[in-house]
Amino acid sequence: MRLDPPLSLALALALGLAAQPAAGGLTCPPGWENATSACDQTECTAPMGGGLIRVDRYASVAGTTLEEAFASLEKAVGADGTPLHELESESPVEVAGLPGLKRVYTGSARGVDLRITMVLTRDAGKDILLRAIWTIENDGLLSLLIAPSIEGWDPRETD
C-alpha cells in the first residue's frame, strides 16, 4: 500500500506520534526529522521532503532595526536558494515575549509552488531567524502541522 505525503502525515497524526523537541527552542512537528549543527542552526524536515523549518542565528548589527536586519537577511536567504518571490504579508509578532517581525511569501523552485514564513527576533546580541517552507499543494495539512512549531518557538533556548 502506497500513501501519498498528505495521507502519510495525516496517518502519523492519527497514530499519535509526539512532537520532537529540537535545539534552539524549536519543537518539530510529529514525525518530522530534526538536526542541529555547530553553526547555531536547527532544522526540522518533513517526511517525503514536503516541508522544512529552520532556525539560524546571526550576530546583530548594532543600531539596526528589525526591519533593516530583515531586509539584509532576506538577501542572504534568497542567495542560499530560498525562493522569496512575492511578499504576501508582514506583521509585528511577539515571540516568547520578545518583539519580532513575521513575513509570509510565496515562491517556486523546480516547478513546485511554495509558501515561506519567516520570523525574525533579537536576543542576547543575535538576530534569530526562523524560516518555514512547505509545498502549497499540501498547504492545508502542512500549515496546521507547522503552526504550533512557529507559535511555540522560544528563541532564547539554545540547546
107-153 pLDDT per residue, tens: 999 999 999 999 999 999 999 999 999 999 988 888 888 889 888 89
Q: What's 119's DSSP letter?
A: E
Convert 7-54 into a string of H (helix), E (strand) and C (coil).
Answer: HHHHHHHHCCCCCEECCCCCEECCCCEEEEECCCEEEEECHHHCEEEE
What is the CATH architecture of 37-151? Answer: 3-Layer(aba) Sandwich (3.40)
More confident residue, 48 or 56: 56
Residue 150's H or E segment, with its range, is helix 139-151
Task: Check residue 40 and give its pLDDT.
Answer: 65
Q: What's 152's DSSP letter?
A: T
Q: Where are the domains of the chain?
A: 37-151
Least confident piece of the model among 45-54, 94-103, 115-124: 45-54
* Predicted TM-score (pTM) of this structure: 0.82
The span from the CA of 43 to the CA of 24, in Å, is 9
> Does 103 score more than 90 pLDDT?
yes
